[in-house]
Amino acid sequence: MQHYARTNPWTCRCPDLRIRSLTARFSLTLLLSTVVPLLVVGWIGLRLLRDGLERVTLPGLENRAMLMAAEVNGLLNQFDRDLSNWSPLAQRAAGLGGDVQDFEDYLLHSTRDFHANYQLVLLIDSNGVVLGDVWSRGGDNLSLSEQSALTPEEVGTEPWFQTLQAGAVPIWSGRHLSPYLHRDTAKETRDPSDYSLSLAFGLPQPDGSRAALLALMRWQRVQDIIDEEGRAKAAENDLDLPGAEAFICTEGGEVLAHSDRQQYHRRLDPEDGLGGLLSGSVNPISYVSMEGRDRHAASVLLEDNLAGFAWRTCISAPDAELFALVDATERVLFLVTGLFVGTLLVWSVLASRRILRPVRMLAAATKMVAQGDLTARVTTKGKDELADLGRAFNDMAEDLSESRDQLRDAERQAAWAEMARQVAHEIKNPLTPMRMSAQLMLKAQRDGDSRLGELIDRTGRTVLEQADALARIAADFRSFAGPPERRLEDLSPTDLLADVSVDFVAVGSGGESRVVIENRADGVVLRVDRMEIRRVFMNLIQNALEASGDRGQVTVVAEAREGRVRFSVHDEGAGVPEDVRAHLFEPYFTTRSSGTGLGLAISRRSVEDHGGSIGLLESCAGNTTFFFELPTLG
C-alpha cells in the first residue's frame, strides 16, 4: 500500500529555533560570555557619563537663564536711572517759564545711547498738554509729517496720566505697540523693532500739580540680549548648540521675545512639555518638542525688578547637542563592539572548525558503518580525548567487521538448515499418500485381489496429484529463492482481469460463479510481467476461495486512482485474526495444514518489484479485503 503524506492543519508550523551546530553553539557561548558583559559595562558607563554631563550641563543652562535675567533687569534699571536723571531738567522745563528746547537739546546731544535705547520722549504739563516731543535719530523710519501726525497734543484722558496725578509711583508698561508710533496697534508683527517698553515719571510742580515725563524704550534692546545669549551660550565651554533657543515669556506662557522671530505671539502649551517652565523660580526640565526631539530647558523668574514684570527668561537646547559627547562615545563603543564581535566570530569559527574536524570525521565514519561499510576508519593524531575516541571507534569497527563475518557464516548455515528442513517437510507430505497407494497396490497384486485394476487407476491418480504438488512446492521455493526473468508488457487492467476469468471459471453447486469481477479502471495502461501478476491474483483469489467456503463468493475489483490502479479481492470468510495480521506476508508463515507459507511473501515481492504495494485493507467476519496497487504509465 502506498502511504501519502498528509499535513495536519492543526500542527504548529513554528520554525525550529534549536541550535544544532556545535560551531554556532561555541560562537554563541563566546559572544554571551564576552560581548554581553562588555555591552553591559559600556551601557553602565554611558549612563554614568550622561548623568555626569547632566549634572554639569543643566546647571550651565540655569546659569545662562539667570545671567539673561540679570541683563534684562540691568536694562530696566538703566531705563529707570535715565528717567531719574532727566527728571530735574524736565521738571523745570514743564514749569512756568521753562525752556522746553533746552530739555530736548539735552536729550538729543548730551544723553549717552539715547538714539540706541529710546524711540520717543514726551514732556507733558500738569493739564495733560504735550509740551515737547523728542524723537530719536531716524524716527523709527517715520517721516516728519508722520511723526507730527502721530504725536498727541494732549494726554490728559490717558489712564496712566491720571494715575500719575493721583501720586502713584512711576508707571511701567510692558511690551506693546505704542499708539504714538503706530497707527494700527492691533496688528500682529514679529519684528522686535515695532515694539516698545514705556515708563512714565511724575514731575511735581510748585503749585502742587504734577507734570509728566513719558519715555518709549526700544524693545529691540531686549531682543539683543536674547540674541546675544544664544551666541554666548553656543561659544561657552566650546559647546556647539546651533539648535538652542532663548526666549522671554510671561507667567501665563505668552512668548514676548524669542531667538526665533517666528515664535513671537506663541503661547506655551503644556502638551508640548514647555508648560513645566512656568512653575518655580528655577526649574530645569526635560521634554519632547513638537518636532519629536528630546530637549532640556531651564527658566528663571525675574524677581525684585523695578518694573514689577512677572517675566521668565528661558533657555532650551536639544539633547543631541547637549550630549553630543555621550553620543559620540556610544558610536565609538558600538563600532569597537562590532569589530570585536566580528573578530571573535571569525576566530571562533576557525577554532571550532579545527576542534570539530575530528568530530566530523568520526561522524562521517559512523554513518558509513551504519550503512554497512565496516572498513571505515578515522585518522587519529595526538593524545587528546578526541584522539582516544577515534582509536576506540577504529577498534569498535574492527570488532564489528569480525562479528559480521561470523554472523554471516552462522546465518548462512542457519538458512540452509531451515531450507532443508522446510523442503524435507513439504516433500514428505506428498510422498506419504504416494507410498501408501503403492503399498496397497502391491498387496492387492500378491493377494490376487479382484479390485487390482481399480487400485491401479486410483494409485495413478494419486501419484499424478502428488507429483503436481511436488512441482508446486519446487516452483514456490524457486520463486522465493530469486525473481524470475521478467517479460514486461503494456497491459490494461482488462487484460489482467481476463486472465482471472480464465483461471477461475468453476461454478458452485447453485450454478453461479464464485468469482465476480468488476472493472472500474478503463483507459489506463500498466507495464507488468503478465505471468507474475497472474500468479499474484491466483494466490490472493485462491486464499479468498478457501476462506469463503464452498458457497462463499469472491469479488475482484479494479479501480483507477491518481497514477495507480488498485486491485481489491473481497471474500465472505470468517476474517483474519488480529494476532495473525502482522505475519501474513512473512515467509513460511501459514495457518493451513498444507502449503509452503510462501504464497503471500512471493506476491509481496512481485508487487513491490513492479513499484507497487500490497496489504490487508480491512478484515472482519464476512468481509475481508486484500489489495495491491500498481503504477500506471504516463
pLDDT for 287-318, tens place per residue?
887 777 888 888 888 876 777 788 888 888 88
H, E, C per residue of 266-280: CECCHHHCHHHHHCC
Name the helix (H) or strand (E) containing 488: strand 488-491
Rounded Cα distance between 34 and 56, Å, is 33
Structural domains in the chain, CATH included, are: 95-218 (3.30.450.20), 394-477 (no CATH), 486-631 (3.30.565.10)
List all residues 6 or more positions away from 38 whose beta carbon is below 8 Å from its beta carbon: 337, 340
pLDDT band, very low/low/confident/very high, at 135 (cuts 50, 70, 90) = very high
**How far is the C-alpha of 479 from the C-alpha of 532, rounded, in Å?**
10
User: Side chain identity at 309, as an amino acid letter?
Assistant: F
What burial letters (b/e) apply to 24-54, b meaning 16+ CB within 10 Å?
eebbeebbeeebeeeeeebeeebeeebeebb
**How many Cβ atoms sit within 10 Å of the Cβ of residue 583?**
13
Instruction: Map grid coordinates 491466483 to a residue.
Output: 538
More confident residue, 436 or 224: 224
CA-only gyration radius of the chain, Å: 59
Give 315-370 pLDDT, tens digit per residue.
888 888 877 777 777 788 778 777 877 787 777 777 777 777 777 777 777 888 77
Q: Order the strands of the 294-301 sheet from edge to edge.
A: 255-258, 245-250, 311-318, 294-301, 285-288
Least confident residue range of 39-48, 116-125, 472-481: 472-481
For residue 298, what is its C-alpha cell?
531651564
pLDDT band at 235 (very low <50, low <70, confident <90, very high): very low
Nearest CA among 564, 546, 545 for reference residue 556: 545
Q: How many CA atoms lie within 13 A of 615 on its CB side?
A: 9
CA 123 to chain centre: 78
Output the pTM of the full model.
0.51
pLDDT bucket at 540, cuts 50 / 70 / 90: confident
What gap in Å lies between CA 308 and CA 213, rounded to an integer?
19
pLDDT of residue 16: 46
3-state class (DSSP) for residue 624: strand
Joined together, the cell numbers standing for residue 598 give: 510462501
Angle at 300 between CA 70 and CA 75, to 5 degrees: 25
Confidence of residue 272 (pLDDT cuts 50, 70, 90): low
* pLDDT score, position 234: 47
Give the residue among 426, 502, 421 at the shortest CA–CA distance from 469.
426
Question: Would the pLDDT of 73 be above 50?
Answer: yes
Q: Tell me, what's the pLDDT at 1?
A: 38
Q: What is the full DSSP assignment across 112-178?
A: TTHHHHEEEEEEE-TTSBEEEEEEPTTGGG--HHHHHHHS-SB-TT-HHHHHHHTTPPPEEEEEE--
